Amino acid sequence: MTPRPAALRVAVLGQGSAGRRHAEDLAAAGCEIVSYDPQQLHAGAATAAEAVASADAVVVASPSSVHAEQALLALESERPVLVEKPLATTEADAARIVSAAGARAASCGVAMNLRFHPGAVALHDLVRGGAVGEVLYGAASFGYDLRRWRPQTDYRRSYSARAELGGGIVLDAIHELDLILWLLGPAASVIAETAVTKVLEADVEHMAAAVLRMRSGALVTVDVNFVEPSYRRRMLVAGTIATASWEWSTGSVVLRRDGDEERVDVAYDVRDTYRAVTADFLSAIAEGHPPSTTLTEGLEAVRLAEALKRSAASGRRAELS
């Protein structure tokens, strides 16, 4: 009888909501889990190093402030690693991760689950397939009250609300920046404003608005916030031929041209996007290639987020090219 292959052993660093979700999905896929969380010593390994040493692969789902440290630990141990978004809280740390991974050629990437949403995929296919023509303008928008994100916990204790843990809407909503880069290519510059409100007790930016100039010449507006009472997420790309838009609330992607309208139903359980991230990572390990969102792409998103915050702090345009 052929012996049954041993289950892949995956260290999941961090047992907050993201870490628990990763662990559940990996276990459902047949993996053996070793967990680590300094706030939950009963969870598994006593240290991150112990968890990594006992594993075949690593998922970093800790607060953003330690993503770089733990990703580098995994890479130094020559383990494939999947890092929850954002890759790091600074461009310099993200670049260190990319450099370390490049030297080891490991199957490493970033968990950008919205890239697996059929709405984002349909919009990407339309834009990259030329359905809108030459892109002239784009817009990405997200808003939701942080107090409603994780209703079972005190939002003030979450990493999202705490600067020392890498919180703030710009990094938390880095999906919008990543999707813009995925759809439209690199950004050349950004000018932005951020603000805090009286609504939340959080020492981070609660709102951000920016205008990006892409290297292609297109202009893109971005607005994200922690304060809206109802969930809102949408994207739009306007070109010389047509306009394509994705509206989360309606579950549809619409292509409009010369009075005609084509509508694609993309209603989807967002939980399935996380399962797709897991499947993609396991496939990358098995086949020896990077996950769908590469570390370099994760670096570019962090670079854009840092430039946005730099522009807001200085009151001047920040150049990226």
9-113+274-293 topology per CATH = Rossmann fold (3.40.50)
117-268+302-319 topology per CATH = Dihydrodipicolinate Reductase; domain 2 (3.30.360)
Provide long-range contacts, Cβ within 8 A and 24+ apart, for 14-21: 14/60, 14/61, 14/62, 14/63, 14/84, 15/39, 15/40, 15/43, 15/61, 16/61, 16/62, 16/63, 16/159, 17/150, 18/61, 18/84, 18/111, 19/59, 19/61, 19/62, 21/274
Torsion of CA 156, 305, 249, 162, to 10 degrees: 0
Provide the residue-wise pLDDT of the chain in tens; the chain has 321 residues: 444 457 999 999 999 999 999 999 999 999 999 999 988 756 689 999 999 999 999 999 999 999 999 999 999 999 999 999 999 999 999 999 999 998 776 799 999 999 999 999 999 999 999 999 999 999 999 999 999 998 888 999 999 999 999 999 999 999 999 999 999 999 999 999 999 999 999 999 999 999 999 999 999 999 999 999 999 999 999 999 999 999 999 999 999 999 899 999 999 999 999 999 999 999 999 999 999 999 999 999 999 999 999 999 999 999 997
Domain range list for the chain: 9-113+274-293, 117-268+302-319
Tokens of 226: 């922690």
Report the residue count for the chain. Answer: 321
List Cβ neighbours of 146 (8 Å cut-off, separation of 6 or more): 155, 158, 160, 161, 200, 202, 206, 226, 227
